[in-house]
Amino acid sequence: MKRPSGPLLLLVFLLIFPLIFREGYYQHLMILVLMWVAIGSGWNLISGYTGQVLFGAAAFFGVGAYTAALLSSKLELSAWWGLPLGGLLSVAIAFPFGWICFRLRGPYFALATLALNEIFRHIATIWESLTDGMIGILVMQTFISKVPYYYVALATAILSIVGVDYVIRSRWGYYFVSIREDQDAAESMGIDTLYYKMVSLCLSAFLIGITGALYTNYMGFIDPKVVFSLHDISIMAILVGIVGGVGTIYGPTVGAFIMVAVQEIFRTGGFGLLNAIGKATGWPFMTTVTKYISEAHVLSFGLLVIVVILFLPNGIVGDWGIIKKIFVRSKKPAV
């Protein structure tokens, strides 16, 4: 990550990825990773750089997802219009929310975003005439192949990384970081902190909203439980941010790769490895373990939060120096 060629190599790899891996499953995983890169970058902008921790990324994600779905189911437009419109609608939600809730600081703001998440989940569940409630909305997918979705997801991920990078290098970026470091000092230096927190939140909401709409297009089905999920979206967004590295450009990328891998390892029981061991050895014990492991992905998320915060508070990219030191000093691999 230190050398400028690293991201470039990764980009080249990602561009030719669908040509190398033609199996739908790997392409699907990669699409998820790319979506999480975008969501993680959005989260990182408001939380990592501006220091206002967003616990409710799912609110914006879900609004984007529902915008796309409703465009298709109610207005019979293409769900792809949801990408720009979902992003804009998320901003339209973020604006009044930020205006009200940025009078709260630190953890209190974080909790307000959690409340926002819950409010939207309730609305989507209760307002059945519009959203069909828990039944969810089915959208016809445009493409059968995963490749077009892959490139759209890649474009979104690149847009979010380049966008965040651009913003952070600009004057705004310095304002954001100054707010994170000391809001009162920033205010007394003449920075309109409310205004710049709003800018940061709206940019984040836009990125997350776009990804939500992309999710609808790609998965073809959404319901309130999935897109407004606290664990699978909001907490996952936080994990992607903190595992990779808070307040770093490439942190969310690293985090997205790791978190999607962790999620998938638990969901499939070590990519079917445990199942295979169970079959090969014929231990009934192994099947029980496999069953428990596949149920344990939320548990693993929780444990990961605890371990990362205790030992790698700045994430893998942020604490890269520390990790490297451990590896260099003692030849043994560090845990």
Indicate the helix (H) or strand (E) that contains 31. Answer: helix 24-43
Asked whether position 219 contacts another protein by CB under 8 A, the answer is no
> 73-110 as b/e, with b when 16 or more CB fall inside 10 Å?
beeeeebbebbebbbbbbbebbeebbeebbeeeeeebb
Subset of residues 165 to 184 that bind another protein, contact rule: CB under 8 A: 180
Determine which residue in the list 29, 119, 194, 289 makes contact with another protein, applying CB under 8 A. 119
| Cβ at position 114, least distance to another protein in Å | 7
CB atoms near residue 333 (< 10 Å)? 7
Contact range with another protein by CB under 8 A, out of 86-94, 145-153, 227-235, 274-282: 227-235
Determine which residue in the list 14, 70, 101, 124 makes contact with another protein, applying CB under 8 A. 101
Residue 104 φ/ψ, nearest 5 degrees: -90, 150
Joined together, the tokens standing for residue 262 give 């962790």
Contact range with another protein by CB under 8 A, out of 61-69, 102-110, 279-287, 323-331: 102-110
Determine which residue in the list 13, 108, 283, 327 makes contact with another protein, applying CB under 8 A. 108
Task: From residue 161, give the alpha-carbon distance in Å to each of 52, 154, 213, 267, 308.
Answer: 19, 11, 18, 28, 23
Rank residues 53 and 85 by Cβ distance to another protein and give the closer one. Answer: 53
Q: Is the dihedral of CA 148, 231, 52, 2 positive or negative?
A: negative
Rank residues 310 and 328 by Cβ distance to another protein and give the closer one. Answer: 310
CA atoms of 251 and 256, how far apart (whole Å): 8
Asked whether position 107 contacts another protein by CB under 8 A, the answer is yes
Query: Is the Cβ–Cβ distance between 106 and 113 less than 8 Å?
Result: no
Asked whether position 225 contacts another protein by CB under 8 A, the answer is no
Beta bridge partners of 137: 222
| Cβ at position 24, least distance to another protein in Å | 30
Subset of residues 121 to 150 that bind another protein, contact rule: CB under 8 A: 122, 126
CA atoms of 220 and 139, how far apart (whole Å): 5
Rank residues 88 and 114 by Cβ distance to another protein and give the closer one. Answer: 114
Subset of residues 272 to 311 that bind another protein, contact rule: CB under 8 A: 292, 295-296, 298-299, 301-306, 309-310
Contact range with another protein by CB under 8 A, out of 46-54, 136-144, 167-175, 274-282: 46-54
| H helix and E strand count, the chain | 18, 2
Query: Position of tokens 């700045």?
Result: 314
Closest CA to 172 of 46, 56, 57: 46
Asked whether position 95 contacts another protein by CB under 8 A, the answer is no
Determine which residue in the list 242, 258, 260, 316 makes contact with another protein, applying CB under 8 A. 242
Contact range with another protein by CB under 8 A, out of 114-122, 209-217, 258-266, 326-334: 114-122
CA atoms of 329 and 104, how far apart (whole Å): 44
Q: Which residues bind another protein (CB under 8 A)?
A: 47-48, 51, 53, 55, 100-101, 103-104, 106-108, 110-112, 114-115, 118-119, 122, 126, 180, 230-231, 235, 238, 242, 246-247, 292, 295-296, 298-299, 301-306, 309-310, 313-314, 318
